[in-house]
């Protein structure tokens, strides 16, 4: 027996197993290959040349989108102080949501990310390189996963990261069934029905993750990199969860990355 369990068994009320924190990297696979990314921009986005100025314009479109989204939903865009625990620092913003689904706050953070870089002297050759850039962290209250965040790089090819928590998902299921529980960080200290808690935990699947990822990426990356209404397509930049599932459609007027129909989660 585990030494910890053997020593503390009299004080343990119940035990359970469930998923904890889940960190997913989302990307459109074809856009991770420089030559194919250039072909996509020229053929689908009608780019004459893929220059640094063209790539900056794409990024500017996304920055403008985030600003408009924040104003529309009355959400702040802030840069947290250095050295703070972000999960704790964003707590006041979550309190303003009153438990309703939505965006609590958008954080800006300067970090390394893989972005497309153009080299005009090499005939507009493009390479994907690591650069220190300003990223957006969308702290969210999801209807199925509770608190989570999505990180979006506002530079082509707009890779994303989704952070979920299995404990938060399970807490949402317990509330739906009206079961009393006490959650302490990433653990349930008490539960009115431990057996049902484990049954719900066992129901957690990749389909739940995929649905959540599609839902938020469709909202947080909905724009056309050319800014031309004629060039906007009908596909969304949501990646499939290592499956053949087609991207979910977005209800917004501007749809991203027409012509890209598959991606991946890692």
pLDDT in tens, the chain (266 residues): 578 777 777 777 788 889 999 999 988 888 999 999 999 999 888 888 999 999 999 999 999 999 999 999 999 999 999 889 998 999 999 999 998 999 999 999 999 999 999 998 887 799 999 999 999 999 999 999 999 999 999 999 999 999 999 999 999 999 999 999 999 878 898 999 999 999 999 999 999 999 999 899 989 987 544 333 333 332 333 333 333 233 333 333 334 444 444 455 55
In whole angstroms, give the CA distance from residue 88 to residue 138: 15
Q: Which of 139, 123, 158, 122 is nearest to 45 (CA)?
A: 158
Residue 7 placed within a domain: no
Q: What residues pair up with 112 in beta bridges, in sequence order?
A: 132
In whole angstroms, give the CA distance from residue 123 to residue 100: 50
Residue 1 placed within a domain: no
Q: What is the pTM of this model?
A: 0.81
Residue 5 placed within a domain: no
Q: Which of 130, 162, 125, 164 is nearest to 145 (CA)?
A: 164
Q: Please check whether residue 78 is in contact with residue 106, taking contact to mean a CB–CB distance below 8 angstroms.
A: yes
Domain with 98 in it: 14-265
Residue 189 placed within a domain: yes
In whole angstroms, give the CA distance from residue 85 to residue 80: 9
Residue 6 placed within a domain: no
| Contact partners, residue 160, CB within 8 Å, separation at least 6 | 25, 26, 27, 150, 151, 152, 153, 217, 220, 221, 239
Question: Phi and psi (nearest 5°) for 80?
Answer: -70, 155
Q: Which of 110, 120, 124 is nearest to 155 (CA)?
A: 110
In whole angstroms, give the CA distance from residue 65 to residue 96: 23
Instruction: Count how many domains the chain has.
Output: 1
Q: What residues pair up with 21 in beta bridges, in sequence order?
A: 165
């Amino acid at each position: 027996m585990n030494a910890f369990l053997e020593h503390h068994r009299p004080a343990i009320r119940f035990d359970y197993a469930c998923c904890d924190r889940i960190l997913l990297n989302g990307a459109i696979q074809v856009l991770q290959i420089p030559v194919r990314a250039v072909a996509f921009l020229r053929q689908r986005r009608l780019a004459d040349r893929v220059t640094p100025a063209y790539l900056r314009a794409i990024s500017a479109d996304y920055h403008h989108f985030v600003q408009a989204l924040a104003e529309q939903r009355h959400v702040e865009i802030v840069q947290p102080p250095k050295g703070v625990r972000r999960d704790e620092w964003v707590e006041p913003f979550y309190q303003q949501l009153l438990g309703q689904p939505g965006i609590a706050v958008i954080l800006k953070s300067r970090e390394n990310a893989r972005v497309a870089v153009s080299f005009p002297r090499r005939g507009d050759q493009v390479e994907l390189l690591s650069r220190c850039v300003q990223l957006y962290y969308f702290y969210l209250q999801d209807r199925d996963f509770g608190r989570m965040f999505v990180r979006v790089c506002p530079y082509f090819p707009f890779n994303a990261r989704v952070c979920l928590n299995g404990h938060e998902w399970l807490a949402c299921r317990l509330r739906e069934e009206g079961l009393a529980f006490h959650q302490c960080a990433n653990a349930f200290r008490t539960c009115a029905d431990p057996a049902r808690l484990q049954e719900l935990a066992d129901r957690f699947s990749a389909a739940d993750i995929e649905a959540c990822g599609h839902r938020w990426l469709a909202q947080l990356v909905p724009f056309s990199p050319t800014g031309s209404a004629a060039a906007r397509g009908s596909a969304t930049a949501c990646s499939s969860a290592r499956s053949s599932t087609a991207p979910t459609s977005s209800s917004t007027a501007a749809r991203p990355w027409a012509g890209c129909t598959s991606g991946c989660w890692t």
